[in-house]
Structure 1
Amino acid sequence: MTQDTPKAPLTPHNYEPSRHPDYQDDEIDLRELFGIIWQGKWWIIAITFVFAVGSVIYSLSLPNVYKSEATLAPSDESTGGGLSQMAGQLGGLASLAGVNLGGKSADKTTIAIEILQSRAFIKNFVEKYDILPELMAVEEWNRGTGIVYDDEVYNSKSKEWVRDVDPPKQPEPSSWEYVEIFKDEVLVINRDDTKGLISLAVYHQSPEVAERWVNWLISEINNHMRERDIKEAKRSLEYLDDELEKTTLSNMQQVFYQLIEKQTQTIMLANVRPEYIFQVLDPAVIPEQKAKPARALICITAVFLGGIIGIGFVLVRNVFTKPLN
């Protein structure tokens, strides 16, 4: 009977960890991958170079766009003070008389911002100031000659639209078309709820136009909200005058007199406040530096993308050109 030779105990000196069978294959594949990329380095360099040159040409073809911005604060009227506070104090009396004075529940700042971005307001703004060519037909701007219009879009001498478009579009842009351009590419409104401030910015190829449009927009929204409240107050006055003639109760007559007085004050104060809804804290100025495009970022992104595509091309090319075993 033979006795088995006892096995030596495992020690740190004689212990050899077992390797996974795919470990060596993975190492070889990684080396092979780098080898393939190195062999196709000229393809990668060429493709990256094409992307780099293309990005430079593309970025230089983009016009400079300037940003003019104003910082606004809601007025006392829009935040519930002033006239709104007086209306709230008489809200109970007004409800008895059938008149709605609004009050603190009406957030006029939010209403004004929504109106600023509304289709009707932008359409009226473009038509009132006749800025459609500056919105849709500018080719470039420089400090010497100012705005240069695209002759293939708009004839500045005859003031005719000559652009070639497919139906249903017309040579002259429709309100549907230019309102979308204005909302998406020109007007930017940001509201800081923590500070209660509003930022109104306009982007345009001409810094002078950008600054001018910001001031016009602020003036127009203040005037719009003022006229809106004045019309509402006048309608309330007409109603109160009619009801005052109908009633014979002294108590109700007193209520109507107070409401008529407050509506009259509303009209008076609205007419004397130029900054009715928004007060300008930091006015718009003519910018001296462009806001976009970020040409360096465009080129860097294109070079990185070109390198990735070049590596992918080399790897795919190796798959199709590799001989079958």
Structure 2
Amino acid sequence: MSEEKAKKSDEIDLISVFVKLWQYRIFIIVFTGVLSLASVLYALLATEQFQADVKLYKEEAEVKGSQLQSLATQFGFGGMEQGLTFSIEDLLKSRNFQNKIILKHWKNKKNDTLVNLINYWEIEGKTKGEKLHKARLILEDLITTDKDKETGLIVITVLISEPKLAADIANYITTLITDYVTRERKTSTQQNIQYIKKRLSKVEEELAMAENTLKEFREHNRVISTSPQLQLEFGRLQRRVTIKQEVFLTLQKELELAEIELVKEKPVINILDHAVKPEKRFKPKRMIVVIVGTFLGLFLSLLFILFIYIWKYMRDELEKRNVSLSLFKK
């Protein structure tokens, strides 16, 4: 019997809930319809954004040490560069890079002539610095980078209101990065060459001095086989000449390699995919916006009705308690 009563109670509750919702059916329909219409208008009127991206790999710095670097470390010389290290994320956040992107004149549909991004976005400001600052804030939100930790693949994404402009900016970014890395790498190699030449000149002088010392020793000591002291001194002088010769030959080899490296065009940034003009907009996603707006309107309308009934229930309970208190006082 108790189970039947419980089932009956559940049925009554469900019917009661349905009846109460039915009483507010017009409100639910109107409220949901208004939010649905608002979401449709937003989806149609919101500025379209197009996404273009480039995919690239950054060549990792070589860890191998040359003979010259080993000798430089051994003798306490710190002039040799160990390789060019940089972060693409940091480059894109730098004011220098951002200003180059902003001040470049771009072809666009909004204007008949080429304009920079300050004019394209119609940014206002008292000074050029203020305008650049505002433009950099906008640009930071439009450019994102993502790096796969396992493969090292770097994806640079540009999001803007014109598809061709998005692709142009993305490809220009890769040009800026490539030019920067090439220039810095060449500067690093030139610094290495200057260091090697400086060391080569000094080692050549030291080798000549060591050879002259050995020559003078041989001239003054024709017979050394009968003197252990002279043999020991001869061996020491000869080792010094041998060491200086090895260092001199290593420096010459490294100088030739550095000069070859200077003119060799080995890419540090390997572009896997250039940016292409996107055919479809990235956002707004109109179907999703309308569906979410409709369900949000339905949910909020039901939530509003729930609050109404909670408020009515609390009001009735308070009225009952007030009646009970008044009877008690009597």
TM-score by length of 1: 0.69
> Structure 2 vs 1, CA of residues 89 and 25 (structure 1 numbering), >3 Å: closer, same or farther?
farther
User: Which residue among 249, 255, 260 is the counterpart of 1:260?
Assistant: 255
Deviation at 1:173, TM superposition (A): 4.9
Partner SS for 1:101:
coil
Partner SS for 1:117:
helix
User: Which residue among 177, 180, 185 is the counterpart of 1:221?
Assistant: 177
Partner SS for 1:99:
coil
> Structure 2 vs 1, CA of residues 195 and 268 (structure 1 numbering), >3 Å: closer, same or farther?
same
8 Å CA contact 1:201, 1:214 repeated in 2: yes
> Structure 2 vs 1, CA of residues 90 and 59 (structure 1 numbering), >3 Å: closer, same or farther?
farther
Moved over 6 A (4+): 20-26, 169-172
| Number of equivalences | 271
Aligned pairs for 1:1-325 (under 5 A) are: 28-74=12-58, 78-80=59-61, 84=62, 90-96=68-74, 97-102=77-82, 108=85, 111-127=86-102, 129-130=104-105, 146-148=109-111, 163=124, 173-185=130-142, 187-247=143-203, 248-249=206-207, 250=244, 251-269=246-264, 272-273=265-266, 276-321=267-312, 324=316
Structure whose residues are more often strand by fraction? 1
The CA deviation string for residues 91-150 of structure 1, in whole angstroms up to 9 with x for no partner, is 4234344234326xx7x5xx342334322343242255246xx9xxxxxx7xxxx1259x
The Cα RMSD (Å) is 3.6
Match of 2:221 in 1: none
Residue 282 of structure 2 aligns with an amino acid whose one-letter code is: A
8 Å CA contact 1:36, 1:315 repeated in 2: no
Structure whose residues are more often helix by fraction? 2
Question: Larger Cα Rg: Structure 1 or Structure 2?
Answer: 2
The CA deviation string for residues 41-92 of structure 1, in whole angstroms up to 9 with x for no partner, is 1111111111011111112221221122233234xxx235xxx377556542
8 Å CA contact 2:39, 2:290 repeated in 1: yes
Partner SS for 1:288:
coil
> Structure 2 vs 1, CA of residues 127 and 48 (structure 1 numbering), >3 Å: closer, same or farther?
closer
Partner SS for 1:147:
coil
The CA deviation string for residues 248-270 of structure 1, in whole angstroms up to 9 with x for no partner, is 1434333333333333233212x
**Runs of 5+ in structure 2 lacking a partner?**
208-243, 321-330
Deviation at 1:162, TM superposition (A): 6.5
**Runs of 5+ in structure 1 lacking a partner?**
1-15, 135-140
8 Å CA contact 2:48, 2:161 repeated in 1: yes
